[in-house]
């Protein structure tokens, strides 16, 4: 005989006929209590917090897309956003754990937000990996772009008495230079494949950054330019301030590190070309 049965029998023996209404079957009471607990889920505020945080963590992407900018791979943007899904996954996991039986409240919300954060985290990790793989290739593409610009400058100088154009815009108009040549693939605002002639022309006139390169040969002529003259170079932030490609007077393009890049840019800006 089980302990519960003994307790029930003891109750019947001690109480007599006068206690019939108060007799309790502990087995029935336990089953009823268990049904009551499982049928009334406890409130799960953590699941609501997880849902709100999930929506908030996606807000930067909504703002990025609504502003008309392309959601492109940007190393600093990925690093900035990476903690958001990590924290969200932790909060959703805690909310899901709290929703385990018999407290089922918020289980669906917690599972959904955990799934969303998992997709978000996977996307950011893949973007981070892609940024590391694509950056060396982007540097080579920029070097090729400047090499093409150098050839266009030579072509222009041959046509116009050894004079270089007053701006890079002239190369599009008079040297048949493709618009994509003026765009670095590492810039966050536009890709070379997405730059049209109209985009680049508008950017030139507005002083925008569709043009990824600084022109330094205005007022120079091909017959006085030496191998040390700087004809064009990149904006230093193009490659996360690690360095830049520089087009020199002999047509060669060379990658320089950050310190040398800052020196060359400051010298050219101060009117010292070739740099001292």
The predicted pLDDT at position 62 comes to 76
Q: Same domain for 31 and 154?
A: no
The residues pairing with 244 across neighbouring beta strands, listed in sequence order, are 256
197-242 confidence digits (pLDDT tens): 555 555 555 544 456 888 999 989 998 999 999 999 988 888 878 8
Predicted confidence (pLDDT) at residue 68 exceeds the cutoff of 60: no
Asked, for residue 110, whether it belongs to a domain, the answer is no
- The reply to whether 239 falls in a domain is yes
Residue 216 lies in a domain: yes
Alpha-carbon distance values, 248 to 146, 222, 232, 273 (Å): 10, 12, 7, 11
Collapsed DSSP state (helix, strand, coil) of residue 65: helix
Contact 152, 175 (CB under 8 A): yes
Least confident of 79-88, 142-151, 196-205, 209-218: 196-205
The answer to the question of residue 165 being in a domain is yes
- Enumerate residues 6+ apart whose C-beta is below 8 A from 23: 8, 11, 12, 15
Question: Does some domain include residue 20?
Answer: yes
The answer to whether residue 148 is domain-embedded is yes
What span, in angstroms and rounded, lies between the C-alpha atoms of 276 and 273? 8
The verdict on residue 233 lying in a domain is yes
State how many domains the chain has: 2
Q: Which of 171, 219, 209 is nearest to 187 (CA)?
A: 209
Which residues constitute the domain of residue 20? 1-40
Percentage of the chain modeled with pLDDT above 90: 22
- Asked, for residue 32, whether it belongs to a domain, the answer is yes
Which range in 13-17, 19-23, 32-36 is most confidently predicted, on average pLDDT? 32-36
């Amino acid at each position: 005989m089980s302990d519960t049965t003994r307790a029930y029998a003891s109750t019947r023996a001690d109480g007599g006929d006068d206690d019939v209404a108060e007799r309790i079957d502990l087995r029935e009471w336990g089953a009823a209590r268990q049904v009551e607990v499982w049928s009334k889920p406890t409130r799960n505020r953590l699941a609501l917090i997880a849902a709100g945080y999930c929506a908030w963590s996606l807000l930067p992407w909504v703002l990025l897309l609504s502003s008309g900018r392309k959601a492109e791979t940007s190393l600093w943007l990925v690093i900035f956003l990476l903690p958001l899904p990590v924290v969200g996954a932790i909060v959703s996991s805690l909310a899901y754990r709290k929703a385990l039986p018999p407290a089922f409240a918020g289980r669906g919300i917690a599972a959904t937000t955990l799934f969303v954060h998992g997709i978000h985290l996977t996307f950011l990790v893949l973007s981070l990996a892609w940024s590391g793989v694509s950056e060396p290739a982007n540097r080579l593409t920029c070097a090729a772009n400047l090499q093409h610009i150098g050839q266009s400058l030579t072509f222009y100088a041959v046509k116009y008495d050894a004079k270089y154009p007053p701006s890079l815009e002239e190369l599009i108009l008079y040297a048949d230079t493709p618009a994509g040549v003026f765009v670095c693939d590492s810039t966050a605002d536009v890709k070379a494949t997405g730059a049209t002639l109209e985009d680049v022309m508008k950017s030139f006139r507005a002083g925008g950054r569709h043009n990824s390169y600084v022109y330094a040969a205005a007022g120079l002529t091909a017959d006085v330019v030496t191998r040390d003259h700087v004809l064009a170079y990149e904006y230093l932030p193009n490659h996360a301030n690690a360095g830049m490609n520089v087009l020199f007077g002999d047509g060669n393009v060379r990658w320089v590190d950050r310190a040398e890049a800052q020196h060359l840019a400051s010298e050219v800006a101060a009117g010292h070309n070739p740099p001292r």
